[in-house]
Amino acid sequence: MSATPESQSCLPVVGSDTLVPLVDGRTVTYANLDCAASAPALQAVADRVTQVLPLYASVHRGAGYLSQVSTALYEASRQTIGAFVGARGDDVTVVTRNTTDSLNLLAGCIPADADGTPGRVLVLDVEHHANLLPWQRSAGGATVLHGAATVAETLEAIRDELARAPYALLALTGASNVTGELLPVAEVVAIAHAAGTRVALDGAQLVPHRRFSLEATDVDYISFSGHKTYAPFGSGALVGRRDWLDAGTPYLAGGGAVRQVDIDEVVWTNAPARHEAGSPNVVGAVALAAACDALAALPAGTLEAHEAFLRERLVTGLESIPGVQVVRAWADAADPVGVVTFSVVGHDPGLVAAYLSAEHGIGVRDGRFCAHPLLARLGYASGAVRASVGVGTTQEEVDRLVSALESYVTDGPTARYEIVDACWTVADDPRPLPEGSGLSGLIATAAAGFIAAAEGCGPAPEAGARSGAQGVARPVGALVDA
Ligand SMILES: Cc1ncc(COP(=O)(O)O)c(C=O)c1O
């Protein structure tokens, strides 16, 4: 098939030609099919960061020339980030660390009902933990609605629940980090607003993949992460209605968030400064704004066409392989983003992911993707494998994944794999570390140590223990956690 515009990357990203070692001693260009977890930096973002670093100095408080410049850069970035998601005139853009930060911040701003009852939040069980746990800890708590098999039924269930009880907020995924599927935003907003409920979208997987506008959709709040939006410099954003953010609990207590402090009394300032105590992440904000500019400059429809092409090719390829199942949350979801989760029936997702890396230089994600309730409901409590594409992804990378999986299913892995600290690794991994990386020990071993300690978004903790003796090579095709 000849190259079409959709089959090529649609924006240059840093590291697209990075070579990685394979277990057989060869090197190949890394195929980063894990953009949903963290996307590579756009070249435009890296260039902008390099350009502004010589101008970097303290912000908001410095009288020096560069302090003034840095303050202007920070505030201009805030404008760009807000405009990128279609902020209305009176909306506030708070620069945060990431989506998790944004949603925790908003959870402290939900007002009480007129009678003083703390405002309650409605969420679905399809959510990433970042859009589940903050609401459960909020003053009014959260109700978790079990998702239905179709979008139509899910919308109906939301409507019924909002009619049954008052909710201050409906907090909903913009696009699922497991299946890439979305709910129709216009309908969701109409249903919620008719019930007097505001809508917060978790835009972590929406904003990097689709044009989005608060003004056009009437969504009340959107949150997203710089590191998923091609700006991995530690920033994110919460954008939305001012009243809750002006009245809400200041997210962090500290300098910059106050008007006046006396020993016995504090007068907090308004949003966004109210929620940005401490020295702000100027470089992160500038980087995110640069990513917003670059994405906004793409001709309308380019991003969507690129992802639709790659996703379609990926799903068709995966479904043509015997024993590979693509995970779906809703039978009737339309126009999903480029995030695809699948399982190779009877095979441990951790082994599949380790094989793709070690024998084909392909980076994917395995585990439960910080969405344990959804994975459990859909029958994948032991995890699955996720491949996700972005602006830098090419058809060649997608095809490489499909053909690597075909080989896996037909012939099995060539190398020997073992479980170390609940993580699949290559036995006696011969792959060298990158020159000058300053690392010691194998990358895979380091990751295993982390997962054993964290157990958050990775495989079910017991998966490795159940799937075979530690340190013993696994037979090809052995059944694990089926
Ligand atoms: C849908 C969704 N929401 C929230 C998050 C949390 O994002 P972050 O880790 O950047 O806070 C993620 C991360 O994977 C996500 O995919």
The residue written with tokens 């402090």 in the block is 261
Nearest to 170 by CA among 157, 179, 151: 157
Query: What Å distances lie between residue 310 and 228, 341, 357, CA to CA?
Result: 18, 14, 20
Q: Considering only the top CATH level, what class is 46-296?
A: alpha beta
Tell me the best of 176, 181, 205 to mutate to test the pocket of ligand 1, counting ligand atoms within 8 Å of each CB and taking the most. 205
Share of the chain above pLDDT 90, in %: 85
Position 434 scores a pLDDT of 80
| Tokens standing for residue 248 | 């809400």
pLDDT digits (tens, 9 = 90+) for 142-167: 999 998 999 999 999 999 999 999 99
pLDDT for res 36? 98
| Ligand 1 atom closest to the CA of 176, numbered from 1 | 1
Lowest mean pLDDT among 148-157, 168-177, 332-341, 469-478: 469-478
Closest protein CA for atom 7 of ligand 1: 99
Catalytic residue among 35, 109, 292, 370: 370
Q: Given a cut of 80, is residue 441 above it in pLDDT?
A: no
The pLDDT-based confidence of 343 (bands split at 50, 70, 90) is very high
Helix or strand (DSSP H, E) at 266:
strand 266-268
CA 82 – ligand 1 centroid, Å: 19
User: What pLDDT score was predicted for residue 62?
Assistant: 85
Q: CATH 3.40.640.10 residue ranges in the chain?
A: 46-296
Question: What's the pLDDT band for 463 if we cut at 50, 70, 90?
Answer: very low
Q: Over 90: is that where the pLDDT of 1 sits?
A: no
Query: In this predicted model, what pLDDT tens digit does every residue of 23-44 receive, in sequence order?
Result: 999 999 999 999 999 999 999 9
Q: Which residues of 167-187 are buried (b: 16+ CB within 10 A; e: fewer)?
A: bbbbbbbbbbbbbbbbbebee
Report the SS3 class of residue 430. Answer: coil
**How far apart are the CA of 225 and the centre of ligand 1, in A?**
7
DSSP code of 415? S
Nearest CA to ligand 1 atom 13: 37
Q: How far apart are the C-alpha atoms of 420 and 350, rounded to whole Å?
A: 11
Output the CA 339–ligand 1 centroid distance in Å.
Answer: 13
What is the distance between the alpha carbons of residues 199 and 188, in angstroms, rounded to a whole number? 8
The CA 292 to ligand 1 mean position distance, Å, reads: 18
Please list the residue range(s) of the chain that carry CATH number 3.90.1150.10.
5-32+300-466
Over residues 215-232, the mean pLDDT reads 98
Q: Helix H segments across 277-330?
A: 282-296, 302-319
In this predicted structure, the answer to whether residue 380 has a pLDDT above a threshold of 60 is yes
> Which residue's structure tokens are 């129709």?
184
CA of 201 to the centre of ligand 1 (A): 12
Which amino acid appears at position 334 of this protein?
Answer: A
Q: Which atom of ligand 1 is nearest to the CA of 202?
A: 3
Q: Which of 228, 339, 364 to mutate to test the pocket of ligand 1 (most atoms within 8 A of CB)?
A: 228
Return mean pLDDT, the chain: 91
**What integer pLDDT is reported at residue 449 of this predicted model?**
53
For the segment 328-340, the average pLDDT, to the nearest whole number, is 96
Report which ligand 1 atom has the smallest distance to the Cα of 457: 14
* 370 in active site: yes
CA-to-CA distance for 204 and 207, rounded, in angstroms? 6
What lines the ligand 1 site, CB under 6 Å? 36-37, 98-100, 128, 130-131, 173, 177, 202, 204-205, 225, 227-228
Q: Which atom of ligand 1 is nearest to the CA of 127?
A: 1
Q: What would the pLDDT profile of 51-92 be if each residue is shown by its tens digit? A: 999 999 998 878 999 999 999 999 999 999 999 999 999 999
Residue 215's SS3 state is helix
Q: What is the mean pLDDT of residues 168-189?
A: 98
List the one residue out of 72, 312, 292 whose CA is nearest residue 203.
292
What is the average pLDDT across 224-249? 98
A 10 A CB-CB count for 148 gives: 17
Q: Which residues pair with 225 in a beta bridge?
A: 236
Per-residue confidence band for 475, with pLDDT thresholds at 50, 70 and 90: very low
Residue 448's pLDDT band, with cuts at 50, 70 and 90, is low
Cis peptide before 272 (omega within 30 of 0): yes
Fold designation for 5-32+300-466: Aspartate Aminotransferase, domain 1 (3.90.1150)
Report CA(36)–ligand 1 centroid distance (Å).
8
Q: Is the pTM of this model over 0.85?
A: yes
CA dihedral 463, 465, 468, 470 (to 10 degrees): 130
**Per-residue pLDDT for 454 more than 90?**
no
Pull the structure tokens for residue 108. Answer: 């402290």
